[in-house]
Amino acid sequence: MLRPNAMSVTQLNAYAKTLLEAEPAARNLCVRGEITSSSFRRYYHTYLTIKDDTSSLACFLPHNVLASLRFEPDIGMSVVLIGNISVDEKKGALRFNIDVLQPDGIGELAAAFEQLKAKLEKEGLFAQERKRQIPLFPHKIGVVTSDSGKAIDDILTVTGRRWPMASVLLCPAVVQGPGAPPSLINALRLLNEDATCDVIIIGRGGGSTEDLWCFNDERLARAIAASKIPVISAVGHETDFTICDFVADKRAPTPSAAAEIAVPDGTEQLRLLLSCRDRMSEQMRSLIETESERLRFLSSKAGISGARSFLKEKGFEYGDLNARLRSAESAFFTMKSSELASLAGKLDAMSPLKVMSRGYAVAGKNGKDVFSVTELSPGDGIDVYFTDGEAKCRVESTRQNTKV
């Protein structure tokens, strides 16, 4: 028997939707499943389906939730969803409205890192054949980092100790937060446009995964790959790895280590140069003695008419060549000795002992050098080092200059 108050399909679906959305138990649900290919579509909003071994569930992913993700949801990925159950009135089917989407088993940042790493590696940005050699004897080193962090201090200390004839050009940038990638990219662009640096160091000191995340930015990775100047990546500590480390021409575990890679050890280079000079001198003396002995042997064994006269004539020629060779050797060693003396003078001028010999002293506290009055407090015990000894002192008071 027909009932005059029968509901239409639209009314029933709307009623079911109202009942379900009013049920508190249908809110803030957490569900796990695998994204399938059956209804995976991308528009402004995203519609997808997740499944387990026996069932499937249609899902709605709003644009704002998708835009906040740091990884790309893809077919076959196991995910965990948080949201609420509703009814699709048009189809009369259950639909899960997603508020939170996370990879199942690994964190969102880890998933984003692995996805970008795989993408850039597939494009060849990590290939060894595209990486360039770091110059052996740089004249200028570009540095992209914060102008107030410890990284730039470490880089200046190491380069000044190892290779003081090189200059350092700091192009300051933001190294943390959402504004960091554009700032780092702009600094790289400026150094490339300047084109006076032989190598660029980009990085910062240690921090959390979130602190270092700007160095996993795809735009920054492509900017490093496009740099015309070789780039050394120095982000965080030994155990920290970022996308920039893989795409750069060289990866350093710390900013200090990056400076050691960028410049040679001046003391070692001087030792090698002196050793080379000594070997060249010995080889030339040995060659002259060998040829002289050979000439004497040929002179004593000549048995044909005129041989002695011929050898005597050649002996004069040899003597002349020998004198010219010795003269050239002397001029060569004089020139190289002058260059070595100049290099040694520069190294000596940068020596802390040279500075101390002019009346300066170095203060230390607890076995470490003191670089600022802010590191001292009244009553602190300090060691003062002079060229001829040291003195143990105690701080009575401190005063900080208003202008430095």
335's tokens? 């020139």
Q: Which helix (H) or strand (E) holds 255?
A: helix 255-262
> What is the value of pTM for the model shown?
0.54
Query: Do 48 and 61 touch, CB atoms closer than 8 A?
Result: yes
Average pLDDT over residues 46-73: 85
- Range with the lowest mean pLDDT among 95-99, 216-220, 302-306, 310-314? 302-306
pLDDT given at position 332: 79
Q: Tens digits of per-residue pLDDT, 309-344?
A: 666 677 777 777 777 878 877 777 788 777 777 777
pLDDT of amino acid 2 = 56
User: Is the Cα dihedral 284, 289, 294, 300 positive or negative?
Assistant: positive
Q: What is the mean pLDDT of residues 237-241?
A: 83
Token pair belonging to 241: 């790895």
CA pair distance 232, 215, nearest whole angstrom = 13
- Asked if residues 87 and 12 have their Cβ atoms less than 8 Å apart, the reply is no
Ramachandran assignment for 347, one of left (phi > 0), alpha (psi -120 to 50 degrees), beta (any other): alpha
CA gyration radius, the chain? 37
Identify which of 43, 110, 52 has the alpha carbon closest to the alpha carbon of residue 80: 52
The answer to whether residue 41 scores a pLDDT higher than 80 is: no
Average pLDDT for the chain: 84
- Report d(CA 211, CA 168) in Å as an integer: 25
Count of other CB atoms within 10 angstroms of residue 241: 18
Res 47 pLDDT > 60? yes
Taking Cα atoms as reference points, which of 221, 172, 222, 227 lies closest to residue 197?
Answer: 227
Query: How far apart are the C-alpha atoms of 207 and 213, rounded to whole Å?
Result: 10
Of 90-104, 293-307, 320-334, which one has max mean pLDDT? 90-104
- The residue among 343, 371, 361 whose CA lies nearest residue 164 is 343
Helices (H), ranges, 127-179: 150-162
Question: How far apart, in whole angstroms, are the C-alpha atoms of residue 173 and residue 179?
Answer: 10
Copy the structure tokens of residue 316. Answer: 């004069």
Instruction: Express each pLDDT in 18-28 by its tens digit.
Output: 877 777 777 88
Element (H, E) at 349: helix 307-349
Q: Hunting for tokens 């899960």 — which residue is that?
A: 96
Q: Which pLDDT score is estimated for 204?
A: 94
Which pLDDT score is estimated for 365?
84
Q: How confident is the model at residue 56 (pLDDT cuts 50, 70, 90)?
A: confident
Instruction: Provide the residue count of the chain.
Output: 404
Closest alpha carbon to 384 in 402, 359, 401:
359
322 touches 285 (CB < 8 A):
no
Tell me if 81 sits within 8 A of 101, measured CB to CB.
yes
Mean pLDDT is lowest, of 92-106, 110-124, 181-195, 240-254, for 92-106
What is the residue-wise DSSP string for 53-65? SS-EEEEEE-HHH
Measured between alpha carbons, how far is residue 166 from residues 62, 158, 194 in Å?
Answer: 54, 11, 17
> CA-CA distance, 215 to 195, in Å (whole number)?
23
Decide if 184 contacts 207 (C-beta within 8 A).
no
